[in-house]
């Protein structure tokens, strides 16, 4: 990283901050220098706020596509090294165009906002919820086991279907959402595009098979049962087998469980 030149003072007058201020003001943020705030602190605050703005979708307050993309790429790196199970969901509001057409774009925007805040409530703080574009959303769920992934998607689908969204006096709209999902290929450094493509294919399936449903890419239908594991290690003396890091009583259960999950996922 290039080193920054230290300057004894920052001359705020010499900086052209009007556009930045206008942007922050538009987002209902305090854009003025506060009494007693040093020029450096003030500038830092402006920059922090701008950074935050650049990652947010203005309409819904969710992460925007840019932020989504960077989180996705980071996930790929960590999956390649750790084999962690990360699920990407793509979600699309069903028949959104007809909402716009019959109730107007304002109503459409209100629906988008309601769905967005509902999505954000349905997931963990560590998950990333983004507006991917138009009426399409994306959720990245790190550390998400296959069964858990389906449960989350189902919760989202049901919660959205149960929403009654007020869009005008005496007019509430109900809507549904289609969800497609794919896990990052574990232990492999894939690309964000391929991953999105796989989730998108599942979303397409959910849409074409009737909407208001979930399609997740099937994880490998392969499991090693507890009975198999028991037999696998039953008569082997593991302490004798492994020299390094051998722990007395190191029964295979834990380690084997972990391995199975990875194979299953």
The kind and range of the H/E element at 167 are strand 165-168
Q: Is 168 in the site for other proteins (CB under 8 A)?
A: no
Q: Is 194 in the site for other proteins (CB under 8 A)?
A: yes
Both structure tokens of 73: 């790429």
> What gap in Å lies between CA 151 and CA 124, rounded to an integer?
13
Q: Which of 52, 73, 77, 135 is catalytic?
A: 135
Helix (H, G, I), strand (E, B) or coil at 179: strand
**Span interacting with other proteins, options 7-15, 20-28, 94-102, 193-201, rule CB under 8 A:** 193-201
**Span interacting with other proteins, options 56-64, 104-112, 160-168, 218-226, rule CB under 8 A:** 218-226
Q: For CA atoms 58, 63, 65, 70, give the dihedral sign.
A: positive
Strand partners, 133: 136
> What gap in Å lies between CA 122 and CA 150, rounded to an integer?
13
* Cα–Cα distances in angstroms (integers) from residue 254 to residues 7, 170, 240, 259, 260, in the given order: 57, 57, 18, 9, 10
52 annotated active-site: no
Residue closer to other proteins (CB basis): 33 or 261: 261
From candidates 151, 161, 168, 231, binder to other proteins by CB under 8 A: 231
| Per-residue binding letters, 195-214, with other proteins (x by CB under 8 A) | ---x--x---x---------
**Span interacting with other proteins, options 32-40, 131-139, 154-162, 250-258, rule CB under 8 A:** 250-258
Contact criterion met (CB below 8 Å) for 184 and 195? yes
From candidates 191, 211, 212, 247, binder to other proteins by CB under 8 A: 191
Contacts by 16-25, CB closer than 8 A, 24 or more apart = 17/46, 20/46, 20/50, 21/46, 23/50, 23/53, 24/49, 24/50, 24/53
Helix (H, G, I), strand (E, B) or coil at 165: strand
Q: Is 233 in the site for other proteins (CB under 8 A)?
A: yes
| Per-residue binding letters, 59-98, with other proteins (x by CB under 8 A) | ---------------------x------------------
From candidates 3, 5, 7, 235, binder to other proteins by CB under 8 A: 235
Which residues are near other proteins by CB under 8 A?
80, 182-191, 194, 198, 201, 205, 217-225, 228-229, 231-233, 235-236, 238, 240-244, 252, 255-256, 258-260, 262-263, 265
- Active-site residues, by number, are 135
């Amino acid at each position: 990283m290039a080193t920054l030149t230290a300057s004894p003072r920052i001359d705020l007058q010499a900086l052209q901050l009007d556009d930045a201020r206008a942007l922050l003001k538009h987002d209902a943020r305090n854009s003025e220098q506060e009494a007693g705030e040093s020029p450096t602190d003030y500038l830092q605050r402006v920059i922090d706020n701008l950074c935050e703005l650049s990652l947010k979708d203005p309409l819904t307050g969710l992460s925007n596509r840019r932020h989504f993309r960077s989180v996705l790429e980071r996930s790929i790196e960590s999956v390649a090294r750790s084999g962690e199970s990360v699920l990407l969901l793509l979600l699309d509001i069903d028949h959104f165009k007809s909402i716009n057409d019959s109730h107007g774009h304002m109503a459409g925007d209100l629906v988008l906002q309601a769905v967005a805040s509902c999505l954000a409530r349905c997931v963990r703080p560590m998950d990333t919820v983004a507006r991917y574009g138009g009426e399409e959303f994306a959720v990245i769920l790190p550390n998400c086991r296959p069964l858990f992934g389906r449960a989350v998607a189902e919760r989202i689908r049901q919660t959205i279907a149960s929403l009654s969204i007020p869009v005008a006096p005496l007019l509430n709209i109900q809507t549904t959402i289609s969800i497609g999902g794919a896990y990052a290929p574990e232990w492999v450094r894939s690309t964000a595009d391929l991953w999105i493509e796989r989730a998108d294919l599942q979303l397409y399936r959910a849409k074409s098979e009737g909407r208001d449903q979930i399609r997740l890419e099937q994880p490998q239908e392969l499991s090693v049962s507890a009975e198999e594991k028991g037999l696998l290690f039953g008569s082997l003396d593991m302490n004798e087998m492994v020299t390094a890091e051998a722990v007395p009583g190191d029964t295979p259960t834990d380690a084997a469980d972990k391995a199975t999950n990875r194979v299953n996922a």
